[in-house]
Amino acid sequence: MDLEKNAIGILQTLCGNSGCVISDSGGKDSSVIKHLALKARQQYGLPFSVQHNHTTVDAPETVYFVREEKKRFEQMGIAFDILYPKYSMWQLIVKHRTPPTRLFRYCCADLKEYSGHGEKLVTGVRKAESQNRKNNQGVVTFTKPKKELKDKIDGNENFRLTNKGGW
């Protein structure tokens, strides 16, 4: 089965007519998800918006790329919001009295995970990035499961075919 076609089908099934929010980091995985969402929009009329959480520590090239993407998506009539955190990374380091470490990870919660509440939030995450992701995440991760959505996904052929190995 064509992986792109399969991924578009899963995205359409998960988001449906009510749409979803694509979480954008400005990286490769986010770019792939945005590409798939655009294809789903063309094929199915998938409504979606894009949200970028500015971390205050991204490389200048990433910041410029995100700004260009914002212009491109807005020209297509797709909302693209750049959200700014309450505190910069440098302020968080002072507040916590230490930079984030492997054992003390506050930066994601404070800089990336504060948005998208109550939304169907789509993120690009590769299992190859870490053993934890490989072992604990499938195609879909439910933070607060909704039975109605879970039943819809469990009965979806595209989801069933990819659930074992992910992409």
Q: How many residues does the chain have?
A: 167
C-alpha span between 142 and 63 (Å, rounded): 29
Q: Across-strand partners of 24? A: 52
Looking at the domain assignment, is residue 106 inside a domain?
Answer: no
Instruction: Give the residue-averaged pLDDT of 78-94.
Output: 89
Burial class, 22, CB count within 10 angstroms (exposed 0-12 / middle 13-18 / buried 19+): buried
What is the extent of the structural domain holding 33?
A: 3-86+117-159
Q: Say which CATH number the domain at 126 has.
A: 3.40.50
Number of domains forming the structure of the chain: 1
pLDDT digits (tens, 9 = 90+) for 112-165: 666 666 678 888 777 666 666 666 555 555 555 444 455 555 555 555 444 444
Looking at the domain assignment, is residue 31 inside a domain?
Answer: yes
C-alpha span between 81 and 28 (Å, rounded): 18
Reported as type and span, the H/E element at residue 107 is helix 107-111
pLDDT digits (tens, 9 = 90+) for 97-127: 888 887 877 666 665 666 666 678 888 777 6
Looking at the domain assignment, is residue 55 inside a domain?
Answer: yes
